[in-house]
Structure 1
């Protein structure tokens, strides 16, 4: 593990039927080659693509009975 905190690995948490939580700040590269950034402490990335603010999770997956799949 690096001694400098800025060089430590980012923590990524995969949640059941929900978003992927990533310690920020983050830069997300999208399929079309563009990128979006967030400087938040933790960001929620949409795993189901139902979010109106994709790639950020807006909890749209909760509107279905079976969760995010």
Structure 2
């Protein structure tokens, strides 16, 4: 999938599924090798193998919608770049 980019899909009451060509780094910029092209990232904050999901969200009662509740980043960037009328 070289050059195809990545897709990130939030699953209702579950993780973010990342598929494709991506690079994962920690807060210091060190690369984390996931060893595959599809990963599940924790959204509940309770995983024992962060940043990856271990299924703990099911036992913890984590709840989150699958759809985004905020504007998409690309939409925000486009709107910020518009000249004043």
1:28 aligned to 20, 24, 33, which one? 24
Question: Which blocks of at least 5 consecutive residues in structure 2 are unaligned?
Answer: 65-85
Question: Which blocks of at least 5 consecutive residues in structure 1 are unaligned?
Answer: none
Give me the whole-angstrom Cα distance separating, in 2, the residues matched to 1:58 and 1:35. Answer: 20
Alignment RMSD:
2.0
Give the structure with the higher percent strand.
1
Matched, 1:61 2:66: no
TM-score by length of 1: 0.72
Q: Secondary structure at the match of 1:28?
A: coil
Aligned residue pairs total 63
Give the structure with the higher percent helix.
2
Provide Cα deviations, 1:2-59, integer angstroms capped at 9, x if missing partner: xxx411121111111100000156432223x143121213100001110000000001
